[in-house]
Structure 1
Amino acid sequence: MTRYCLTAFLLFIAFGCRQETSKNASEGTQSVQKVDSARIKGTASKKFRTFEGLTDTTFVRLADFSDGFAFDMRYATENNFLKEKVYDCAECYTRVKTVKALLNANADFRKAGVKIKFYDCYRPNSVQYKMWEIVPNPQYVANPEKGSIHNKGGAVDITLVTLKGEELDMGTDFDFFGKRAYHHNTDLPQEILDNRKLLKETMEKHGFWSTRTEWWHYNLQGAHKDPVANFKWECE
């Protein structure tokens, strides 16, 4: 009888310990999940800004409002027709009204399995003068005396990439100065024509208009009325 009681007592202790260990492990897992969820939620809420309190003409950084775009800011590198880095760092700034239109356009693009990739956005007027010195041709570079719509925060140079980041074939590289980049040039493979059509029709649907000589350039309607700016953004 004594041996039976001792065995039963030891089994009771062992079973109780396993239950407590299992309970603690479960509580620990739940605690970690809650903390991780709160951390992610907090990060997301801090990352993206809203338009509350901002006027449509305020300059803002596009990346503060969405992570759904891709970027290859060419003028922050030497991979451009200037062969010179003219931006201290790669940022895409533009006016709030332009950002709103871009967000709506990109939502449509994403339904088609692609998204916008930026080459250039707002451009300080001082940079426009450098470009004009190299290419003083208004077909390709706006006269800095009047200012480009890039200088006004209403123009963007863009292409399309898949959601995995693969560029669609548009027939030429960005800043190709020649007839192959013209919108009316139909002497191109059908795939290129289809890609350009998707880009152009979607951007026009959301209030942008294209320029004849550059498949990548889009101006927001009415942006030509805004004043020329020459501020440079801060780099972190």
Structure 2
Amino acid sequence: MKLTKIGHPAIDIDLAYATSNNIAGKRLYMDSDALLHPDAATALHAAADILQAQNLRICVFDAFRPAYVQQKLWAVLPDPEFIADPEVGSDHTRGIAVDLTITDQSGQPLDMATGFDEMVQQSHHNRVDIPVTAQQNRLLLLGAMALAGFQHNPFEWWHYSLPNAENYPLING
């Protein structure tokens, strides 16, 4: 499967696993390119168009994730609520998932109440015990991503994937 490099004028790339500032505490990616299955890349570009019309941008934290990285993350946090079991595979290892947030035109992230990969209850969608502004920002992200064809992960406000994952094979890479 040939993956597509994410490239859009309203999308910034800040891969968390290309640095040591992540839940593993070490650099897991040697490359800083964000790749997706072509179907997911097309949908992400559609979401970026929706947000760009509102003078907003997308910042991508993770996209395609090689199986060896999935195994390393599972070793750090073997909790299927937050990390997919590498024996099963994840939507990231299929190239159809993206972790992201919304930023303003200057690249400043909108308030989402918790950070990316902050594995706490407040990171779940539909939380009413977070500031109203964060609830609104999460709904804005959810709306743009849903209109573009993505579904959300109920436990992670930042995680979106294409539906019907079983139609997409795991990608070795």
- What range describes the TM-score normalised by the shorter chain of this pair? over 0.9
1:67 shift after superposition: 3.1
The separation in 2 between residues aligned to 1:224 and 1:138, in whole angstroms, is 18
Q: In the TM superposition, what is the alpha-carbon distance from 1:184 to its structure 2 partner? A: 2.3
Equivalent of 2:37, from 75, 92, 95? 95
Q: Which residue of 2 aligns with 1:61?
A: 5
* C-alpha distance after superposition, 1:65-93 (max 9, x if no partner): x2321121000000000001010021100
Alignment coverage as a number of residue pairs: 173
Mapped partners of 1:211, 1:67: distance in 2: 26
Could you tell me how far 1:225 is from its partner in structure 2?
2.2
Task: Describe the SS at the equivalent of 1:99.
Answer: helix
2:68 maps to amino acid: S
- How many angstroms apart in 2 are the aligned matches of 1:58 and 1:137? 30
Structure 1 CA distance for aligned equivalents of residues 139 and 133 of structure 2: 10
Amino acid at match of 2:161: N
1:154 paired residue among 87, 96, 106: 96
Q: Which residue of 2 aligns with 1:118?
A: 60
Uncovered stretches (5+) of structure 1, i.e. residues with no partner: 1-56, 232-236
What are the equivalent positions in structure 2 for 1:3-152 lying under 5 Å apart? Answer: 58-63=2-7, 66-152=8-94
Q: How far apart, CA to CA, are the structure 1 residues paired with 2:132 and 2:166?
A: 33
Normalised to the residue count of structure 1, the TM-score between the two structures is 0.71
Instruction: Summarize the Cα distance change of 1:224–1:176 in structure 2 as closer, same or farther, 3 Å threshold.
Output: farther
| Structure with higher RCO (Cα < 8 A, 6+ apart) | 2
Letter in 1 for 2:11: F
Q: Please, which of 142, 162, 165 is the counterpart of residue 223 of structure 1?
A: 165
Query: In proportion to residue count, which structure has more helix?
Result: 1
Runs of 4+ more than 6 Å apart: none
Question: Where do 5+ consecutive residues of structure 2 fail to align?
Answer: none
Amino acid at match of 2:164: G
Aligned counterparts of 1:201 and 1:68: Cα–Cα separation in 2: 17
Identical positions, percent: 33
- Give the TM-score normalised by structure 2: 0.96
